[in-house]
Amino acid sequence: MVPTQVKNKKMHSRSLSRSSRESFRFFGSPDKDEDLRKTKTEIENNITKLLKLVKNDDQSKKNRNPRLVRKEAELVGLIEDLNSQYQSLFQLCDYLNREFMRAISRRRSRRGTGSNTDSESEYFSSEELENYTKFSFDDVLKNDDAKEYEEQLNSQMKEMESLSQQKTNLENQIESQSLQFEELSANNTRLHDRVLDLESLLKEEKGVVSVWEEKLKINENQAKSNIEALMTQVNKLNLELKTLRTQKDQTEEEIEGIKDKALAQMKDLMDKLNSMQEELDSVNTQNKELDAQVRNDRELILRYLIQIENLSQDLAETSLDKQSLMDDKEQFLARIKDLEFELEAESMQKNALEAQLRDRNYDMKLVEEENRTLQDRNSELKKAMHQSGEEITALMRVPETQKDAASMEAMALKAEMNIMRLEMDNLYAQRSKLEQQIERNRKEYEENLGNLSSKLSSQIVEREKTIEEQAATIQRINEEHKQTKVALNKNKLSRQTAERKMIELATEFRRKMEDNIRLLHQRIHVAEQMNNENKNNFKIVNQRYHEENKTLQEKIAIYEEELKVPKFDIAPLGGEQHALVFEALNELEMVTMNRLDSIVGDVEEQKKHVVSRVFKMIGEVQYGKEWIKKRNREWEETKNNAECLRALLDSKEEQEFLLREKVWKLEAKVSKEAGEKLNLMNAVSQLEKKVARLENALKEKEEDLVSLGEKKREAIKQLCFVVEFHRERCRDLKDLVIKMGANNNTNTKK
pLDDT tens for 73-104 read 666 566 566 656 656 665 666 676 677 667 66
Q: How many domains, the chain?
A: 1
Distances 5 to 16, 181, 263, 275, 406 between C-alpha atoms, Å: 16, 13, 38, 48, 192
More confident residue, 25 or 173: 173
**Could you count the other beta carbons within 10 Å of the beta carbon of residue 332?**
20
The answer to whether residue 83 sits within a structural domain is yes
**Are 378 and 719 within 8 A, CB to CB?**
yes
Helix axes 2-23, 185-216, angle to 10 degrees: 40
Q: Count CB neighbours of 331 within 10 A.
A: 11
Per-residue exposure over 30-57, b if at least 16 CB sit within 10 Å of its own CB, e if not: eebeeebeebbeebeebbeebeebbeeb
**Mean model confidence pLDDT for the chain:** 65
**What would the mean pLDDT of 507-512 be, rounded to a whole number?**
74
> CA separation (Å) from 168 to 1, 10, 15, 601?
21, 8, 12, 22
* 288 contacts: CB under 8 Å, gap ≥ 6: none
Give the mean pLDDT of 483-505.
Answer: 69
Asked if residue 140 is part of any domain, the answer here is no
- In a domain? residue 536: no
- Does residue 152 sit within a domain? yes
Is the pTM value of this prediction over 0.85? no
Q: Is residue 58 part of a domain?
A: yes
Query: In the prediction, which pLDDT does 24 show?
Result: 41
Distance in angstroms (rounded) separating the CA atoms of residues 340 and 574: 149
DSSP letters of 360-372? Answer: HHHHHHHHHHHHH
Percentage of residues of the chain with pLDDT beyond 70: 29
> Which of 387, 298, 274 lies closest to 645, judged by CA?
298
Question: Where residue 113 falls among pLDDT bands split at 50, 70, 90?
Answer: very low
Structural domain that includes position 154: 1-96+147-183
Residue 646 falls inside a structural domain: no
Q: Give domain status of residue 37, yes or no.
A: yes
pLDDT at position 28 over 60 = no
Question: Interior CA angle at 366 toward 360 and 369, to 5°?
Answer: 145
Determine the pLDDT at residue 166.
66
Q: Render pLDDT for 670-710 as a digit per residue (tens, 0 to 9).
A: 677 767 767 767 776 776 777 678 778 777 877 877 777 78
Would you tell me how many other CB atoms lie within 10 Å of the CB of residue 442? 16
- For residues 309 and 482, the answer to whether their CB atoms sit within 8 Å is no
Distances (CA, A) of 654 to 647, 657, 659, 664, 739: 10, 5, 8, 15, 121
pLDDT tier for residue 142 given thresholds of 50, 70 and 90? very low
Backbone angles phi, psi at 28, to 5 degrees: 120, 165
Count of helix runs (H) and strand runs (E) in the chain = 10, 0
Whether residue 97 contacts residue 29, with contact meaning beta carbons closer than 8 Å, is answered with no
**pLDDT tens-digit readout, 213-241:** 676 666 566 656 656 766 676 677 667 66
Which DSSP string corresponds to 88-124? HHHHHHHHHHHHHHHHHHHHHHHHGGGGS-SSGGGTS
More confident residue, 125 or 747: 747
The mean per-residue pLDDT over the stretch 594-620 comes to: 66
159 in a domain, yes or no?
Answer: yes
Our CA angle for 352, 358, 364, nearest 5°, is 140
Angle at 268 (CA atoms; ends 263, 272), nearest 5 degrees: 145
- Cα–Cα distance, 100 to 90 (Å, whole number): 15
Q: Above 50 in pLDDT, residue 27? A: no
**Percentage of the chain lying above the pLDDT 90 cut:** 0
The burial class, CB within 10 Å (0-12 / 13-18 / 19+), for 705 is buried
CA 606-612-613 angle, to 5 degrees, is 90
Q: What is the DSSP letter of 32?
A: S
Question: So what's the pLDDT on residue 481?
Answer: 64
| pLDDT, average across residues 490-500 | 68
How does residue 125 score in pLDDT terms, banded at 50, 70 and 90?
very low
Which CA distances in Å does 3 have to 51, 176, 337, 598? 18, 11, 111, 18
Q: In the structure, what pLDDT confidence band is assigned to residue 22 with cuts at 50, 70 and 90? A: very low
Provide CB contacts within 8 A for 481, sequence distance 6+. 318, 660, 663
pLDDT of residue 291: 65
Most confident of 39-53, 204-218, 404-418, 698-712: 698-712
